[in-house]
């Protein structure tokens, strides 16, 4: 029997991607859709300006949207996927957890809380057991798990693949698609024929979330990795796909061939949404590119290329689809991990 799930913030860009991924999912059944008070009471077809690259499912279009309130969501919903703005999620998500709901959230609030697991399943699935600590400390019957920022998700799997060589310092410069800002985040007059070398709080997210993801959980507490990470974030006029330039310094010598082999060999998981090959490594110097490579592995794979040795260690580029792998798909993958590990 499929697990009954709901989507919090269902009308936004990530909420729409969540519906696109969940509607055909054999393990999940969409049973609740929530949005702002202005959308509550409308059918989803009336409330959402559907902009995802597939038709809105007919049965979803006819569902009634409710307010984002625990009292409005059926008790038999076992798992909620949250794409709420962090300003809303910081108050609402704990209320759902107190009421017994398990929440897999893409929102940025609470990602760095000591008792909230921040998870990329292929990288740190064992961190999910931090939920036991969370429930003990907060007295929740529910639980809250987070996926990281879309740009963090893009480069951290490649770092995990190189961790055996002893990560010391990482510099990353991002070229981020406009969809990462949401439908209303960047106006056309700002971004066309332009690049914006600042995205509020984004650099801090890459620098801190990456160290938490690469940290070690001993069953009681989480120790962050000591690697030094410095980030520069830029918005560019592509629609989907975050491209990143990465420089990695390691304790051990790291050749281009060793790095490519380690990335190609880095394992995926046997979860429905995990790609068969997690990291694709291109030999061509001009790959990956957003338009050509963002849909690798149905949008859930990481693409890498342009590997070369530099005076600042290994240099390479990496790319991921920011609203699939970097957001909605990451939340769904965490939902699958929760189900596999008996948290639902």
User: Which residue among 150, 233, 318, 321 is the active-site one?
Assistant: 150
150 catalytic? Reply is yes
CA dihedral sign, ordered 108, 112, 115, 117: positive
Cis amide linkage into residue 288, ω under 30° from 0? yes
| Contact status, residue 214 vs residue 186, Cβ threshold 8 Å | no
Q: Which of 144, 142, 34 is nearest to 98 (CA)?
A: 142
Q: Give the whole-angstrom CA distance, residue 62 versus residue 43.
A: 5
DSSP 57: P
Q: How many CB atoms lie within 10 A of CB 43?
A: 15
User: Which residue among 97, 127, 233, 242 is the active-site one?
Assistant: 242
Rg value, the chain, Cα: 19
Q: Give the whole-angstrom CA distance, residue 12 versus residue 196.
A: 23
H helices of the chain, in order, are 13-22, 44-47, 58-61, 86-98, 121-124, 130-138, 150-162, 188-191, 202-213, 256-265, 290-293, 329-340
Q: How far is CA 262 from CA 33, 153, 172, 280, in A?
A: 41, 18, 19, 11
Catalytic residue positions, numbered: 150, 242
């Amino acid at each position: 029997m499929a697990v009954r799930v709901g989507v919090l913030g269902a009308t936004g860009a990530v909420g729409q991607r969540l519906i696109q991924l969940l509607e055909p999912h054999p393990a999940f059944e969409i049973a609740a859709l929530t949005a702002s008070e202005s959308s509550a009471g409308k059918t989803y077809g009336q409330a959402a300006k559907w902009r995802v690259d597939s038709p809105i499912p007919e049965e979803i279009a006819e569902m009634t949207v409710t307010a984002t309130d625990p009292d409005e969501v059926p008790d038999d919903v076992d798992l909620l996927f949250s794409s709420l703005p962090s300003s809303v999620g910081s108050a609402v998500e704990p209320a759902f957890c107190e009421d017994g709901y398990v929440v897999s959230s893409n929102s940025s609030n609470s990602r760095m809380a000591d008792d909230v697991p921040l998870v990329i399943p292929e990288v740190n699935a064992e961190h999910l057991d931090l939920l036991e600590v969370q429930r003990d400390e907060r007295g929740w019957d529910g639980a809250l798990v987070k996926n990281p920022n879309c740009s963090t998700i893009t480069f951290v799997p490649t770092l995990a693949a190189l961790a055996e060589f002893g990560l010391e310092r990482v510099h990353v410069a991002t070229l981020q698609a406009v969809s990462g800002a949401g439908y209303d985040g960047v106006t056309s007059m700002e971004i066309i024929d332009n690049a914006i070398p600042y995205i509020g709080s984004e650099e801090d997210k890459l620098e801190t979330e990456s160290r938490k993801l690469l940290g070690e959980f001993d069953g009681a507490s989480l120790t962050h990795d000591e690697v030094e990470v410095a980030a520069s974030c830029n918005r560019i006029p592509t629609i989907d796909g975050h491209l990143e330039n990465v420089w990695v310094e390691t304790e051990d010598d790291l050749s281009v061939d060793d790095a490519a082999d380690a990335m190609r060999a880095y394992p995926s998981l046997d979860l429905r949404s995990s790609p068969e090959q997690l990291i694709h490594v291109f030999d061509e110097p001009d790959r990956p590119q957003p338009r050509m490579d963002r849909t690798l592995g149905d949008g859930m794979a990481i693409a890498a290329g342009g590997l070369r040795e530099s005076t600042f260690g290994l240099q390479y580029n990496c790319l991921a689809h920011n609203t699939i792998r970097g957001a909605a798909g990451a939340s769904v993958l965490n939902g699958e991990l929760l189900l596999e590990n008996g948290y639902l």
